[in-house]
Chain A
Amino acid sequence: MAEEVVDVLIVGAGAAGAAFAWSLADTRMNIVCLEQGDWMKQADYPSNHMDWELRGQGEFALSPNTRKRPADYPVNDSESPIAISNFNAVGGSTILYAAHFPRFHPSDFRTRTLDGVGDDWPLSYRQLAPYYDVNARMMGVAGLPGDPAYPPKEVPLPPVPLGTLGETVARGFDALGWHWWPSDSAIATRPYEGRAQCINLGPCITGCAQGAKASTDITYWPDAVRRGVRVWTNCRVREITVRPDGMADGVVYYDADGVERRQRAEVVVIACNGVGTPRLLLNSRSPQFPDGLANRSGLVGKHLMFHPYGMTTGVFPERLSGYQGPTGCGIMSQEFYETDPARDFVRGYSFEMVRGFGPVQMALLGWSHGRVPPGPDHHRAFAELFDHTAGLIAICEDLPETVNSVTLDPELTDQHGIPAPKINYRLSDNSQRMLAHAMDRAREALEAAGATDTFFEAPLRIAGWHLMGTARMGTDPATSVVNEWGRAHDVKNLFIIDGSIFVTAAAVNPTNTIQALALHVADTIKARLGNLFE
């Protein structure tokens, strides 16, 4: 039997891979997606169980180094103050994300022009806006139209309820005269396209047992599969192979039984996130590409951006019922989003409300801050905090710097012997000044809301969940890895569609923009099918 050559081979079934596959399914091409994880079952998520908090620390932990599921690969993040968080399954990190779903702002695509930092993107908010609208419908975005921090935008579902905690925090912002608005959230607040309505379980970040949160295994993928896209699970890609002329011709991967296999393709699309994608490219060495595939610029793995997070916790006299409702979705303040020359940093940050914690997490958070010690005073200290806290997360814009990078670890490998990614990252002076400003303002806001005490952590080590910039887009092959529609400058049948291609990071969660970009790339491919490789 002749070896099958598929038209399009997508590596990674997460946020980007799903949106891209769904869009490209219009073409009726032969499309296969290889995913190193499996389909998830909602019945397996921790919130089905009484000990949901403990289960969330184990096989549903944010860090792959803690989780150690068979689908995971280790990450050496020992030389970074921010640790990598991800998930490997159909749905990717949308399985564990909070579903906080803001768009980037128009200014986020023009930071060089406006503020003299970072680089301008080769496309604009206006160009991406139609894809944000499609994504809002496909993912089912809940929110409130009219946010003055954004141009008008489509929001199909009503916002998640704020609860006592959210309304308390909102009053703090209001007392200070600051901007705040109900967050855009990828959560079905009403029955939506076959998804059940949110019932405020709480722990969105360990998977949604209700199926209300928009992870792509239940949004884009079912429709893409119905229209003929094939998803091959438990398949870990080792490298992308090239023909003598330097065009990609497929991948080598390990199947569910660990057997090495080869899959040929006319077009290869990488959607493995800002760490997994450079790992795969750097591990795809050949005589044509001795430094890694599509890396003639030397920029694959460079410009790694996180969002440096700081979390301030306020302690309130009243009970806030904070463990009820979507963990990370409620309200957002963008009072300090845009550059203000009066401040000692450029660009800015968002505040996101964080609900309270369950008993286990509250005890452990309190202990880590010296607030809930073991010993004779334990119960008094715990009672002071439990159900009496509200959090404000500052999500700061990171700026692209070549010193922050993903490389291949010289020693650490996954179970197939593929080198693990190594993270080298340090907080810039700008980020440190921004975090300090944010922690002071968060304390002000929480005190204005009635907090009698506050404590904070910055940077938040666990918060390496936004992985961006390591295969940036641009029009110049010397300073970017892919062009303005995701095609590698060096390999004309290779596309990258995840957060790797971000030019700058903005100061909001990136998933909505990752998917809008993936839809934009798919649409451009569809429009250029006749001359795709020219």
Chain B
Amino acid sequence: MTTVDADETRTLAAVLDELIPPRPDGTLPGAGALGVGAHVTHMVGQLPELGLVVTDGLRALGALARARGVASFADLAPADRQAVLRELDATAPGFTPTLTFLGYGGYYADPRVVTALGLEARAPFPRGYAVPESDFALLENVKRRGPRWREC
């Protein structure tokens, strides 16, 4: 099973904040601050093929950060984080797409995000949704044009 250590967890949160930053109006934190890293960690434990892509990438980010003189990717300045991510994309092209896929899933399933989007943070069942009955008067034009199937 793929696991993520403490430094990689910190790196993961920092990367997620780059992918989904806080809302500009301050009403939602970025994906890292929201805790989406826990979802990603859970998923990489479930999906070993994705897990390796993520953990290898996190380790590579650590190495790239240390080469720039800091202990962790999370310690880099914002502009340097973007540069390091681009550098990693050249050698590990699967990392950012994998983390984006997992990160989007974790972020947009989070009740705090769902509420901020103006929706009720609940399961669809059992309450469902009320959709008004439709008025089919608009079909008059279609009816007027008559049958269109081929008799055979």
Contacts and interface: CB of A to CB of B under 8 A. Distances in A.
A81 interface: no
A345 interface: no
15 contacts: A47-B123, A47-B125, A48-B123, A53-B108, A106-B151, A109-B152, A162-B134, A199-B129, A200-B128, A201-B129, A202-B124, A209-B126, A210-B125, A362-B108, A374-B103
Interface of B: 18-21, 23-24, 28, 46, 96, 100-101, 103-109, 111, 113-114, 117, 119, 121-136, 138-139, 141-143, 145-152
Nearest to B104: A363
B134 A51 contact: no
Contacts of A106: 149-152
B151 A166 contact: no
Contacts of A163: 131-132, 134
Nearest to A338: B150
A314 interface: no
Which of B128, B136, B138 has the most C-beta atoms of chain A within 10 angstroms of its own C-beta? Answer: B128
Contacts of B108: 53, 358-360, 362-363
A159 B139 CA distance: 13
B149 A149 contact: yes
B122 A50 contact: yes
B105 A360 contact: yes
A148 B150 contact: no
B86 to A, nearest CB: 11
B152 A179 contact: no
Residue in A50, A180, A325, A374 whose Cβ sees the most chain B Cβ within 10 Å: A374
Contacts of A323: 119
Chain A interface size, as a band, is: 35 or more
Tell me the interface secondary structure of chain B in the complex: loop
Contacts, number: 159
Given A170-B138, A201-B124, A379-B23, 8 more contacts: A47-B123, A47-B125, A50-B122, A148-B146, A181-B139, A375-B18, A375-B19, A387-B117
Nearest to B130: A200
A46 B22 CA distance: 28
Nearest to B146: A148
Interface of A is mostly: loop
A54 B105 contact: yes
Given A107-B150, A161-B133, A177-B141, A375 B21 contact: yes
Contacts of A49: 123
Contacts of A58: 46
Contacts of A177: 141, 145
Contact of A174 (B113, B141, B147): B141
A146 interface: yes
A113 interface: yes
A376 interface: yes
A74 to B, nearest CB: 14
Contact of A360 (B104, B111, B124): B104
A469 interface: no
A182 B136 contact: yes
B106, B121, B131 interface centre (most CB from chain A within 10 Å)? B131
A285 B131 CA distance: 54
B117 A166 contact: no
Interface in A96-117: 105-107, 109-110, 113-114
Nearest to B23: A379
Contacts of A110: 152
Contacts of B149: 105-107, 148-151, 338
Contacts of A199: 125-129
Contacts of A286: none
B128 A359 contact: no
Given A162-B134, A174-B141, A179-B148, A52 B19 contact: no
Contact of A201 (B18, B21, B128): B128
